[in-house]
């Protein structure tokens, strides 16, 4: 079973060396979807939505919301933010993390780098 919850946070960043306007300081209202994978238990629940919210808020959102992302994540592209969030949530049965930089642009990460190390 795949269980997902979406969140949002506001943060600024810049991408030094990037072509175009992304090199300058700017902000986004980011969206984050965390998906875990677990079997359905005897109680009919695979993973508690409230627990997923608690963990993501504690380990990810408290660090990202209303911040300058460059101070926390090197070259904080949506891709790097997804990788960073994956590491913060590594003790969950993660399946996928999706990060939206805008309404129609997002990345999907499934821990590829971590699986090969």
Q: Which two tokens stand for residue 78?
A: 């949506």
CA–CA separation, 86 and 60 (whole Å): 9
CA–CA separation, 92 and 56 (whole Å): 10
CA–CA separation, 111 and 81 (whole Å): 12
Catalytic: which of 58, 66, 79, 114? 66
Q: Let me know if 57 is a catalytic residue.
A: no
Q: Let me know if 101 is a catalytic residue.
A: yes
Place of tokens 């919301």: 65
Catalytic: which of 6, 13, 22, 57? 22
Q: Let me know if 6 is a catalytic residue.
A: no
DSSP 70: G
Catalytic: which of 51, 96, 101, 114? 101
Using only C-alpha atoms, the chain has a radius of gyration, in whole angstroms, of 15
Q: Which residues are catalytic?
A: 22, 66, 101
């Amino acid at each position: 079973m795949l269980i997902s919850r979406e969140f949002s946070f506001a943060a600024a960043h810049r991408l030094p060396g990037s072509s175009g306007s992304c090199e300058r300081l700017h902000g986004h209202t980011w969206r984050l979807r965390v998906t875990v994978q677990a079997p359905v238990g005897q109680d009919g629940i695979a993973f508690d939505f409230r627990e997923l919210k608690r963990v993501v808020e504690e380990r990810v959102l408290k660090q990202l919301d209303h911040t300058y992302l460059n101070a926390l994540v090197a070259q904080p592209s949506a891709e790097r933010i997804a990788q960073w969030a994956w590491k913060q949530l590594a003790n969950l049965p993660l399946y996928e993390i999706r990060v939206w930089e805008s309404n129609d642009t997002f990345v999907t990460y499934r821990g590829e780098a971590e699986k090969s190390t």
